[in-house]
Amino acid sequence: MLTAVVGINWGDEGKGRMVDLLSAEYDVICRYQGGNNAGHTVINDRGKFILNLLPSGILRDNVVNVMGNGMVIDLEHLCGEIASLRSKGVEITPERLKISDKAFICMPYHRQQDILEEERLAEKKYGSTRRGIAPVYGDKYMKKGLRMGDLLFPETLKNKVADIVEWKNITFSGYGQERLSVEAMVEWLKKYGEPLLPYITDTTEFLMSAKDEGKNIMFEAQLGALRDIDFGIYPYTTSSQTLAAYAPIGAGIPGVKLDKVIGIMKAYSTCVGEGPFTAELFGEEAVMLREAGAEYGAATGRPRRVGGFDIPASVYGVKLQGADVLALTKLDVLSYLDRIPVCVAYEIDGVRCEKFPVGDRLLRAKPVYEYLEGFKTNISHCRRPEELPKPALNYIKFLEEAVGCPIEYVSVGPGREDYIRMR
């Protein structure tokens, strides 16, 4: 079984939590794109974990975790993340963690460049996490990058670094910055690269062998469909492909086909960063929803923008992802509401629009809200559909019919076991 777990909306849908839950049924978990701009929160009997780079299956002792070639890896951050998990009793070995030799390295100058560009843009900024993701993906396609496999050949690494630094200094001079030091970059690579050497391998060979042996493999995405570089709300996107279709490519086995796509969406809408967010709520209504859901970015700590469930955006996301089934997260957060707001359509230039628009039309879109009956009770103890209050069941059914895809899982709390299987 080859399964992708992907986001339907703007990201922060709860993918890490679902991967952690479902990983009990899988042998291999593979992250296939993005970097430490991800913030996957997992709560289990060991405590609360925020994973930025490591796949969310790392908290399962019997699961092999793969960081695929489509990822960009900040060595310093990864070393820190591994050390943090080990301090909490999580065992991480080369047998349980494998890093693609083709994944690209996010260097200190990438982080610096990201910050400088966001500051230059000022009010026109894109809302970057400032972790160097766009610059490193840009360098990848400029063929000016370093890959994890380069760390295995220190005798040639310095020359590659020197060539790149010479080019980078042209960019940094334009920002009025001091020249980068080749020696400093080489030392950084040595300091944080050497501890990772045992984990670097040909993950394509590993994954193909696992597939041939009939192993269950899950592909874990970062962010959601609306942040995809090609099909998202450009330019307010991430710099990689967040769609399920890219999973085999970013994992390192481009010739295989997925058996199942599980789309993750919240019972309401959230967004971190700039750009259009049509369903956004404001004022006291927004404050109450943000606090009820503890909506602060796992990677950045920034307050998330919040709104009611957005049907046009979610229908678009479900189609982009090719979702077979859905998981609805954080239903319990809405228990304080007498009426649940749902954005059922947009209004653009005075005309009702039920399809997700692109380009400048999205900038002019205004939400059309309807309200459903709230359930006004604690549902965190519910473990079967019939235990949910009727208004909660009605809300689930309404969303299911609206987006045109069956909802298989519903989370009713933050813990690993706080969920209901609807089918």
Residue entry with tokens 């309807």: 370
Q: Distance between CA atoms of 108 and 76, rounded to whole angstroms? A: 9
* Cβ neighbour number for residue 85 with a 10 Å cutoff: 18
Q: Distance between CA atoms of 75 and 140, rounded to whole angstroms? A: 16
203-239 burial, b for 16+ CB within 10 Å, e for fewer?
bbebbeebbeeeebbbbbbbbbbbbbbebbbeebbbb
Q: Of the residues 12, 114, 332, 418, which is catalytic?
A: 12
Q: Of the residues 20, 40, 101, 332, which is catalytic?
A: 40
Query: Is residue 12 annotated as a catalytic residue, yes or no?
Result: yes
In one-letter notation, the amino acid at residue 304 is R
Q: What element of type H or E holds 325? A: strand 325-329
Contact between residue 299 and residue 129 where contact means Cβ atoms under 8 Å apart: yes
Q: What element of type H or E holds 411? A: strand 407-411
For 15-69, the DSSP string reads HHHHHHHHGGG-SEEEE-SB-TT--EEEEETTEEEEESSS-GGGGSTT-EEEE-T
Q: Distance between CA atoms of 157 and 416, rounded to whole angstroms? A: 43
Query: Is residue 40 annotated as a catalytic residue, yes or no?
Result: yes
Q: Distance between CA atoms of 228 and 239, rounded to whole angstroms? A: 7
Query: What length is written for the chain?
Result: 423
Phi and psi (nearest 5°) for 30? -130, 120
User: Which residues are catalytically annotated?
Assistant: 12, 40
